[in-house]
C-alpha cells in the first residue's frame, strides 16, 4: 500500500496548477506534496462543468492549453482531508475526433500533450438520460486501462423522465465504479468524493483490469458501429424498457423553436431582450462605476496639491482603473445571459435556426450572438465569440466584430450630427442610422472578403446536438461569469492601465508655460477678486484654465505628433488639431470628444456638461485661412473614419488573448485603420466636389 503514490504518473501540485506571477509568466512554485490528479471528461451537455463546480467551487481557474486558445479549467477539491487536482477538459463525443478542442481533451487525458503531464485517473461524466450515446465515450476511456470512475449524472432528470437505471448491473457490465449523481442539486456528490478518495488512496494498485476489450482491433468496417452495438446492448440490459418512450416536451418546444419562421422570430425576440440587457441595463452599474471613480478622483485631487502628481493619479491611474472596470457590467451581464441560454439548450436552437441565414454571409448561426453584442461593446463580443466552435469562423467573427457601432461611438456620432444638422433632428437621426448600417455593411463585407482570402477553407456544414431543454443552473452561470470577469481584469487590465499611462504622458509632456493671455487673465481675475466681483473672477480663471490646457496639449508630444501626421490626414480634411484628437483617442475612441474640447479651448468639462458650447465652438473653429474647420465634407469624413477605425486598445488586448497571438490584433488595427482611411478619403472628396 505504501507505494500507492510512487506511481510515476503522480505529479507535484505545481506542475499541473501553474501560477501566474505579476509579469503574467507562468511560474512553478515548488510545492513538496504530490497531489492526485483527476481528469473530467464527458460529452458536451452531460453536466460536466456543473459537476466540476460542485466539487471545486471557487477554487478553480481557467487556463489555455499551451499554445492554443482552447481552455481547460483546473481546480482543487478536498476529498477525505487530502487535496486533489481536478482538470475539466473540453467536452468531447469520442476520443478519435479531429475537432481541435476534442482532440486536445483526448490528448490531455491520455497524457499525450507536450508540456502537460498525464493525469492520474479519469472521471467520466455520463448523462443518465442519454445512456446509449454517452456510453460510447465511456467505453473508449475504459479501454485505455486507466483508473476510471463513472459519474452517472442527471439522475434527477432521468427519474423525472421515468428512466430507471440499475447501477449495480451497470457496474458489473463496465467493471468499474459507477456513482449516480445529480450535480445540479448536489445529490450524490459526497458518495462521489468517497469513491475519488478511495481511488486516490490507491490508484497504482488498481490497474484498470475492469474492462474487456470489445472491438477496436477486430472491426474491419466501422469501429463506431461495433461500439454503438455494445452501448446499445449495455443500456438495454441496465435500463427499463419504459425509457424508450421519451418525454415529448423537448419535441413540442422544438416544433416552434426550430421552425424556419416562428423560430427566427423567437430568436430575434430573445436577442432583443439579450441586447437590451447589455446595452441599457448595463448602463446603470456603468454609471455607478463612473460616478464612483469620479468621486474618488475628486477626493484624491483635494488631497494632492502637486499638479503633476494630481493629474497622474486622477487622470491616469484612477481614470485608467475606472476605464477598465467600467467594462465589467457588460461583460458580466453578457456572460451570465449567455450561460443561461446555453444551459437551457436554447443556444443550440439559435445556432440551428440562424444557420441558413448566416451561412449566406459565410458565418455560422452562432456568430450572430457576438456580432449583435458588438453593438453594445466589442470587448464582451470578442470574448463571447467562443460560442462559435470552428476556429476559422471564430477568427472571422472576432476580426469583424469591432466594426459594429459600439456604445463608445455614440458620443462621437452625436457630436458630428450636431455639427452637421443642428436644426434637423430628422436628418440627424438619418445620419445615426446610416452610421450603424455602415458598420454592419462593412463588418459583413469584410467577413465575406476574409473568408475568401486570408481564411480559406470554406464554411463547415452544421452538425450540432440539440440537447433536451432544461432549467439552467444559476451556480454554473455565476461561476462562469465570475471567471470571465476575472480573466478580463487580470489579462486586459494591466495592459490597458499601462497604455492609459503612456497616453497620459504623451498629452502632458513636455511641459510648457501658460500662454501670455492666460497669465494676463489670471492677474485680472486677482484684481476682480480684490474688488469683490467673484463671479467675474471665476469666469476669467476658467477661461485662463482652458487656454492653459489648450496650450499645454498643443505643445505636448501628442500635439507634436498631431503636427507630424498632419500631411497624412490632410487628404481626409483633418487638420493637426483633429490629429491630436485621433492620437489621444487611439486607446478609447470616445476620448476624441473631450480632447477636441481641450484643443479648441472650451475645457474638458464642456464635453461632459455643456455640449452646446462645445458644438458652438467647433462650428466656429477656423483654419489659418479663416475657412471653417468642420465643413460638411470634414464632418462626414470624420464620421466615416470613426465608424471604421480600430480606436480601442482594450478590444485589441482582448483579441490578443482570444486569438493567442499578436499577429491578429495588429492585423485588425491595420486593416480597420486602412479601411477607415480609404473610406474617409473617398467620402471627403465626394462631399468636397459634389455637395
When the beta carbons of 449 and 462 are compared against another protein, the nearer one is: 462
Q: Which stretch binds another protein (CB under 8 A): 181-189, 203-211, 465-473, 519-527?
A: 465-473
Q: Which of 7, 9, 69, 97 touches another protein (CB under 8 A)?
A: 97
When the beta carbons of 94 and 472 are compared against another protein, the nearer one is: 94
Q: Please state the φ and ψ torsions of residue 4, each to the nearest 5 degrees.
A: -55, -35
Cβ neighbours of 213 (radius 10 Å): 10
Quote the least distance from Cβ 297 to another protein, whole Å. 52
Per rule CB under 8 A, is residue 276 in the interface with another protein?
Answer: no
What whole-number distance in Å separates Cα of residue 376 and Cα of residue 406? 5
Q: Which stretch binds another protein (CB under 8 A): 95-103, 209-217, 332-340, 411-419?
A: 95-103
Binders of another protein: how many residues, by CB under 8 A? Answer: 39
Per rule CB under 8 A, is residue 206 in the interface with another protein?
Answer: no
Per rule CB under 8 A, is residue 96 in the interface with another protein?
Answer: yes
What whole-number distance in Å separates Cα of residue 414 and Cα of residue 592? 12
Q: Which of 297, 467, 559, 581 touches another protein (CB under 8 A)?
A: 467
Contact 591, 585 (CB under 8 A): yes
Which phi-psi region, left, alpha or beta, contains residue 223 (left: φ > 0; alpha: ψ -120 to 50)? alpha
Provide the grid cell at 622: 477656423
Q: Which stretch binds another protein (CB under 8 A): 250-258, 294-302, 329-337, 526-534?
A: 250-258
End-to-end Cα spacing for the chain: 89
Per rule CB under 8 A, is residue 107 in the interface with another protein?
Answer: no
Q: Which stretch binds another protein (CB under 8 A): 226-234, 417-425, 570-578, 640-648?
A: 226-234
Q: Which stretch binds another protein (CB under 8 A): 175-183, 216-224, 422-430, 435-443?
A: 216-224
SS (H, E, C) 121-156: EEEEEEEHHHHHHHHHHHHHHHCCCCCEEEEEECHH
Per rule CB under 8 A, is residue 34 in the interface with another protein?
Answer: no
Q: What stretches of 164-255 adopt beta strand conformation (E)?
A: 177-180
Q: Which of 225, 240, 298, 513 touches another protein (CB under 8 A)?
A: 225
Q: Which stretch binds another protein (CB under 8 A): 209-217, 225-233, 447-455, 615-623?
A: 225-233
What whole-number distance in Å separates Cα of residue 211 and Cα of residue 148? 10
**With the C-alpha atoms ordered 338, 137, 58, 496, is the resulting torsion angle positive or negative?**
negative
Q: Please state the φ and ψ torsions of residue 388, each to the nearest 5 degrees.
A: -80, 115
Q: Which of 9, 62, 68, 250 touches another protein (CB under 8 A)?
A: 250
What whole-number distance in Å separates Cα of residue 381 and Cα of residue 371? 7
Interface residues for another protein in 128-157 (CB under 8 A)? 129-130, 132-133, 136-137
Per rule CB under 8 A, is residue 463 in the interface with another protein?
Answer: yes
Q: Which of 12, 18, 94, 285 touches another protein (CB under 8 A)?
A: 94
When the beta carbons of 47 and 603 are compared against another protein, the nearer one is: 47
Which is nearest to 596 in space by CA: 615, 610, 612, 609? 615
When the beta carbons of 83 and 232 are compared against another protein, the nearer one is: 232
Cα angle 397-402-407, degrees, rounded to a multiple of 5:
130
Quote the least distance from Cβ 325 to another protein, whole Å. 39
Cβ neighbours of 650 (radius 10 Å): 25
When the beta carbons of 132 and 290 are compared against another protein, the nearer one is: 132
**With the C-alpha atoms ordered 542, 543, 544, 550, is the resulting torsion angle positive or negative?**
positive
When the beta carbons of 463 and 691 are compared against another protein, the nearer one is: 463
When the beta carbons of 98 and 217 are compared against another protein, the nearer one is: 98
Interface residues for another protein in 421-460 (CB under 8 A)? 460
Which is nearest to 401 in space by CA: 430, 370, 369? 370
Which is nearest to 687 in space by CA: 637, 638, 651, 645? 637
Q: Which stretch binds another protein (CB under 8 A): 175-183, 251-259, 476-484, 509-517?
A: 251-259
Exposure on the CB side of residue 364, measured as CA atoms within 13 A: 27
Beta-strand relationship, 60-64 and 71-79: antiparallel
Interface residues for another protein in 48-67 (CB under 8 A)? none
Q: Which stretch binds another protein (CB under 8 A): 59-67, 147-155, 252-260, 681-689?
A: 252-260
What whole-number distance in Å separates Cα of residue 124 and Cα of residue 614? 63
Provide the grid cell at 440: 454592419
Quote the least distance from Cβ 95 to another protein, whole Å. 9
Quote the least distance from Cβ 99 to another protein, whole Å. 6
Binding mask 283-322 for another protein (x = CB under 8 A): ----------------------------------------
Q: Please state the φ and ψ torsions of residue 78, each to the nearest 5 degrees.
A: -110, 120
Q: Which of 190, 251, 308, 490 touches another protein (CB under 8 A)?
A: 251
Per rule CB under 8 A, is residue 93 in the interface with another protein?
Answer: yes
What whole-number distance in Å separates Cα of residue 254 and Cα of residue 163? 22
Q: Which of 190, 229, 308, 490 touches another protein (CB under 8 A)?
A: 229
Interface residues for another protein in 320-359 (CB under 8 A)? 348, 351-352, 355-356, 359
What whole-number distance in Å separates Cα of residue 1 and Cα of residue 611? 78
Q: Which of 32, 67, 461, 532 touches another protein (CB under 8 A)?
A: 461
Provide the grid cell at 498: 499601462
Q: What is the largest CA-CA distance in the chain?
A: 105
Cβ neighbours of 465 (radius 10 Å): 13
Residues that bind another protein (CB under 8 A): 93-94, 96-99, 129-130, 132-133, 136-137, 221-222, 224-225, 228-229, 232, 246, 250-251, 254, 258, 260, 348, 351-352, 355-356, 359, 460-467
Amino acid at each position: 500500500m505504501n507505494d500507492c503514490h510512487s506511481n510515476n504518473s503522480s505529479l507535484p501540485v505545481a506542475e499541473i496548477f501553474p501560477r501566474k506571477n505579476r509579469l503574467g509568466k507562468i511560474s512553478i512554485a515548488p510545492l513538496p506534496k504530490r497531489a492526485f490528479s483527476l481528469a473530467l471528461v464527458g460529452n458536451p451537455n452531460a453536466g460536466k462543468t456543473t459537476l466540476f463546480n460542485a466539487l471545486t467551487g471557487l477554487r478553480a481557474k481557467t487556463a489555455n492549453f499551451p499554445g492554443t486558445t482552447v481552455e481547460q479549467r483546473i481546480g482543487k477539491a478536498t476529498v477525505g482531508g487530502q487535496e486533489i487536482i481536478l482538470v475539466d477538459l473540453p467536452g468531447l463525443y469520442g476520443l478519435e475526433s479531429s475537432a481541435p478542442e476534442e482532440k486536445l481533451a483526448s490528448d490531455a487525458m491520455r497524457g499525450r500533450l507536450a508540456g502537460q503531464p498525464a493525469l492520474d485517473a479519469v472521471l467520466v461524466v455520463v448523462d443518465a438520460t442519454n445512456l446509449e450515446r454517452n456510453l460510447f465515450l465511456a467505453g473508449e476511456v475504459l479501454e485505455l486501462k486507466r483508473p476510471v470512475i463513472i459519474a452517472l449524472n442527471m439522475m434527477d432528470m432521468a427519474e423525472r423522465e421515468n428512466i430507471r437505471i440499475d447501477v449495480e448491473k451497470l457496474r458489473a457490465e463496465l467493471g468499474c465504479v459507477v456513482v449516480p449523481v445529480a450535480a445540479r442539486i448536489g445529490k450524490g456528490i459526497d458518495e462521489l468524493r468517497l469513491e475519488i478518495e478511495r481511488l486516490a488512496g490507491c490508484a497504482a494498485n488498481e490497474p484498470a483490469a475492469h474492462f474487456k476489450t470489445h472491438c477496436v482491433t477486430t472491426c474491419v468496417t466501422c469501429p463506431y458501429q461495433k461500439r454503438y452495438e455494445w452501448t446499445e446492448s449495455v443500456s438495454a440490459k441496465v435500463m427499463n424498457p419504459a425509457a424508450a418512450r421519451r418525454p415529448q416536451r423537448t419535441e413540442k418546444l422544438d416544433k416552434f423553436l426550430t421552425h424556419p419562421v416562428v423560430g427566427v422570430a423567437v430568436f430575434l425576440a430573445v436577442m432583443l431582450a439579450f441586447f437590451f440587457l447589455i446595452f441599457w441595463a448595463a448602463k446603470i452599474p456603468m454609471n455607478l462605476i463612473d460616478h464612483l471613480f469620479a468621486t474618488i478622483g475628486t477626493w484624491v485631487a483635494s488631497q494632492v496639491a502637486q499638479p503633476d502628481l494630481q493629474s497622474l493619479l486622477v487622470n491616469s491611474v484612477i481614470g485608467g482603473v475606472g476605464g477598465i472596470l467600467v467594462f465589467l457590467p457588460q461583460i458580466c451581464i453578457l456572460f451570465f445571459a449567455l450561460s443561461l441560454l446555453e444551459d437551457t439548450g436554447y443556444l443550440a436552437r439559435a445556432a440551428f435556426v440562424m444557420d441558413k441565414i448566416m451561412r449566406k454571409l459565410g458565418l455560422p448561426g452562432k456568430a450572430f450572438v457576438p456580432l449583435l453584442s458588438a453593438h453594445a461593446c466589442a470587448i464582451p463580443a470578442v470574448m463571447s465569440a467562443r460560442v462559435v466552435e470552428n476556429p476559422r469562423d471564430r477568427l472571422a467573427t472576432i476580426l469583424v466584430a469591432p466594426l459594429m457601432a459600439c456604445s463608445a461611438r455614440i458620443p462621437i456620432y452625436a457630436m458630428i450630427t450636431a455639427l452637421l444638422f443642428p436644426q434637423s433632428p430628422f436628418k440627424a437621426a438619418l445620419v445615426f442610422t446610416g452610421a450603424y448600417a455602415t458598420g454592419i455593411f462593412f463588418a459583413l463585407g469584410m467577413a465575406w472578403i476574409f473568408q475568401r482570402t486570408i481564411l480559406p477553407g470554406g464554411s463547415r456544414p452544421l452538425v450540432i446536438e440539440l440537447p433536451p431543454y432544461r432549467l439552467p443552473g444559476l451556480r454554473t452561470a455565476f461561476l462562469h461569469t465570475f471567471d470571465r470577469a476575472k480573466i478580463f481584469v487580470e489579462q486586459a487590465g494591466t495592459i490597458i492601465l499601462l497604455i492609459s499611462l503612456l497616453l497620459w504622458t504623451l498629452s502632458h509632456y513636455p511641459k510648457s508655460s501658460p500662454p501670455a493671455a492666460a497669465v494676463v487673465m489670471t492677474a485680472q481675475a486677482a484684481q476682480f477678486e480684490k474688488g469683490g466681483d467673484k463671479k467675474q473672477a471665476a469666469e476669467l480663471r476658467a477661461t485662463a484654465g482652458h487656454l492653459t490646457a489648450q496650450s499645454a496639449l498643443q505643445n505636448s508630444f501628442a500635439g507634436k505628433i498631431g503636427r507630424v501626421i498632419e500631411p497624412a490626414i490632410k487628404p481626409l480634411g483633418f487638420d493637426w488639431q483633429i490629429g491630436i484628437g485621433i492620437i489621444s483617442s487611439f486607446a478609447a475612441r470616445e476620448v476624441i470628444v473631450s480632447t477636441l474640447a481641450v484643443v479648441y479651448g472650451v475645457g474638458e468639462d464642456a464635453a461632459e456638461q455643456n455640449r452646446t458650447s462645445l458644438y458652438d465652438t467647433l462650428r466656429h473653429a477656423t483654419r489659418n485661412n479663416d475657412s471653417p474647420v468642420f465643413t460638411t465634407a470634414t464632418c462626414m469624413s470624420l464620421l466615416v473614419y470613426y465608424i471604421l477605425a480600430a480606436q480601442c486598445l482594450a478590444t485589441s488586448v482582448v483579441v490578443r488573448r482570444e486569438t493567442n497571438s499578436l499577429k491578429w490584433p495588429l492585423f485588425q488595427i491595420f486593416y480597420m485603420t486602412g479601411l477607415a482611411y480609404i473610406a474617409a478619403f473617398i467620402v471627403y472628396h465626394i462631399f468636397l466636389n459634389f455637395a
